[in-house]
A and B are shown apart, each in its own frame.
Chain A
Amino acid sequence: MSQTYVNHNQQQKKYLFKIILIGSSGVGKTSLLSQYVHKRYIQQHKATIGVDFLTKDLQLKDSKGETCSVTLQIWDTAGQERFQSLGSAFYRGADCCVLTYDVNDQTSFENLDRWKNDFIHQAAPSSPSSSPIPYQLVVIGNKIDMENQRCVSQKRAQAWCTENSVISYFETSAKDHQLVEQTFESIARQIVLAIEKQFIIPYQNADPNKVDIKKSANNEKEKK
């Protein structure tokens, strides 16, 4: 309902999503974002302290083919162990959690389990009654430009994703700017679709009388 209202007033749906990037230190989270937001690759590794914030505006088509504008609020967290105590509340209310690993680094892949559990433990609403999966899990394998050093195969990564109900798996290279933009765009699109689906649920469950009233009150705005 809120969407139709916005539609009516501003012609375009507007979304703002919180996306957090987690993963072991040095897998290239900051580089990935720097490439995505500033189109710049940072050669030198400088550890992120605590968390850094980036924002990116996108135009997307939703399931009905209407253009909507999306603002991504990206939380670039520190991968280092000593900053992990800061993490707890950072995860709250995230629309998407991007688990990142380095395809050339076995340990960073094995750590995905811990990162995922960490996130689910701290971000998930503890009462099971509330909305089933309010966030999405996505995995990015980074640094695919160094193909000859690769030690985690695509197959193995995808198997892990299926096992852990991860929605999508992407491979990128922050250095070569390979698939970076596409990855984030498709993440944004997935959230839009998931949210649209969520909006329909309360609508269908609503009391038929109420729906009638609603329709008569908003028939101008109602698109369907």
Chain B
Amino acid sequence: MAGILKYASTRDFGKLDFHTVDRSMSTSNVDILDSTMSSKTTSTTTTTNIKDDSNNNNNNNNNNNNNNQTTTTTTNNPSTSTTTLNEDDDSSESGSTLDIPKPSIDDMLNKIDESALAHLDKPASRKKYAHEDSSTPSWFKHSKHFLIFSFSGKPIYSRYGDEVALNTFMATLSAMSSFIESQKDELRHIKTGDYVFVYLHRDPLCLVSIANTGETPAIISRQLEYIHSLIVSMLTQSNIKAVFDAKYDLRDLLGGTDKFLDNLIKTIDKDISILLNSVNCLRLNYTPRNDITNIIQSNKHESVLFALLVSGNKLISFVKQKKYSLKPQDIHIVMNFVSSTSSFRESEAWIPICLPNFNNTGFLHLYICYILPDVCLLLFSALPESFYHLSNCKNLIVKEMESKGLMEELTKAVQNHGYTSAMTGVPHLLHFMYRSRTSYFSTSPKFTAPYSDKKERKRLFRLYQHIVDRVNNSCSKPHKYFYHTSRYETVIVAVSSTHEIYATFSPLETKQTVFESFSFLLQWIKDNESSLFLQ
């Protein structure tokens, strides 16, 4: 523990709170810690908080006491890992009915070599802060770190700085979690002064974020899950396990993919649809959208599992085979992947990709083609040799859309997809976000004054994060209404079985006007439902 304490003392962290899972944690845990602490830093006091996670939206953590057991079984027996590690019961069922080929490591390396890497932009000097590591003071100044390492403590990725130079720092982080683990427990987060260390254990990987942004551990933990999904989407969970067991260095396989991680980290820190665990739709009238969906539906090749038409991170149309479904997280992972790679814009592409919430053991094959400068068609197939079928099916779709004049309609829609809170005609409304609970679609207007300023925008986003966390993860009964007033704004939240709505007003408005405007807004959303969301 000396390394940890050295770090703790140099950073002058006043207080260390160990938040762990097991409720029946033995007191010896605290004793050992105390003795180690006191021998190094006398001013450090240790408190052990046992966190109540009964409302954690994370499925596989629901059973707190069994959690440790699951981890052990997965470490001991790699062959069962994929089933025990599946995050979502229904998705794993749907995935298992489908015969997805499970490639060997060599296969995977080939695939990554051949296709994915072929599309990567040149691995130029990508990192702004590559020269930094835990010995440079500037490294500690970043407000939000993301670090990924294996359970053995070997570095895989760091948002800032060179991960190899940071290897002792990551080893320290892994030692901290394995210390807790040796108490038959799991380290969730540590609070020290303004900083929070959030851990996510996904055997054989460990993801850590160190942040002083004021975000809650639950929110950061969700972000770490997104990042983990991204890694799984590139390698599959089975391959990550295999790579780890065979002692290949995971960094070799993830070579050149850092920019996807960098990009996703940036996106999750400002994307409202990800915050709401939902997908944003491109605003488009019902008739053209319906026409497009019908065209895709009627022309898609039989091997297509999912067909998505997207513009940036907005969904235009979504067609799927009846028995399968796609989670918002997977859609975001794919959209992030597509938008991070500019060379996809130039030609058709065919890449293996894993959808972690659909089936984390195998690759699907994704056909990517931009049919308009900002509109991209994505077709998923389980057959590696169906590229020409899908390319042909894209031609048919484009042809039919052109003949019906839908291309012009789409171009127009892409140009004016954004709307402002003023356009809703709701008095005093500054901003809002809406999420349907039945369909996982969300909508929100562009940030306009006073949130046109980047700093203000960030502040509102952080406020939303807190409120979303409060609304979704509160320990007591779920809230129906939530009213928050601060110096800068008033946010009112209403949650029903069908939707969540968060509306922001000036703090000077009275409660009455806020409530009146709020019902106006609800009506506006209802009236515009057909253009705001996919039906």
B-binding residues in A (CB < 8 A): 1-3, 5-6, 9, 14-16, 18, 48-55, 71, 73, 75, 85-90, 92-95, 125-127, 129-131, 134, 195, 198, 202-203, 206, 210, 213-214, 217-218, 221
Contacts and interface: CB of A to CB of B under 8 A. Distances in A.
Contact of A2 (B109, B155, B164): B109
Looking at chain A's contact residues, the main secondary structure is mixed
B32 to A, nearest CB: 7
Nearest to B178: A89
Contacts, number: 143
12 contacts: A1-B113, A15-B249, A50-B175, A53-B168, A53-B175, A73-B168, A73-B171, A88-B178, A92-B152, A93-B150, A93-B154, A93-B244
Interface residues of B, number: 52
B76 A127 contact: yes
Contact of B171 (A53, A130, A206): A53
A218 B155 CA distance: 27
Given A9-B255, A202-B106, A214-B106, A126 B1 contact: no
B456 interface: no
B387 interface: no
Nearest to A91: B152
A203 B104 CA distance: 11
A134 B247 contact: yes
Contacts of B2: 48-52
A127 B150 CA distance: 20
Contact of B77 (A126, A198, A203): A126
B182 A86 contact: yes
Given A2-B109, A73-B153, A92-B151, A51 B3 contact: yes
Given A93-B244, A131-B245, A52 B3 contact: yes
B151 A214 contact: no
A130 B248 CA distance: 13
A21 to B, nearest CB: 13
Given A90-B178, A93-B152, A217 B168 contact: no
Contact of B106 (A16, A18, A50, A203): A203
A203 B107 CA distance: 11
Contact of B167 (A71, A89, A214): A71
Contacts of B14: none
B113 A217 contact: yes
Interface string B238-253: 0000001111110111
Contact of B110 (A16, A75, A127, A214): A214
Given A16-B167, A16-B249, A88 B76 contact: no
Contacts of A203: 106
A90 B152 CA distance: 7
Contacts of A198: 246-247
A65 to B, nearest CB: 21
Interface string B142-157: 0000000011111100
A1 B171 contact: no
A88 B1 contact: no
A50 B33 CA distance: 10
Nearest to B28: A85
B70 interface: no
Given A2-B249, A210-B107, A51 B150 contact: no
A92 B75 CA distance: 10
Contacts of A214: 106, 110
Given A125-B245, A206-B104, A218-B113, A18 B154 contact: yes
A85 B154 contact: no
Contacts of A126: 76-77
A143 to B, nearest CB: 23
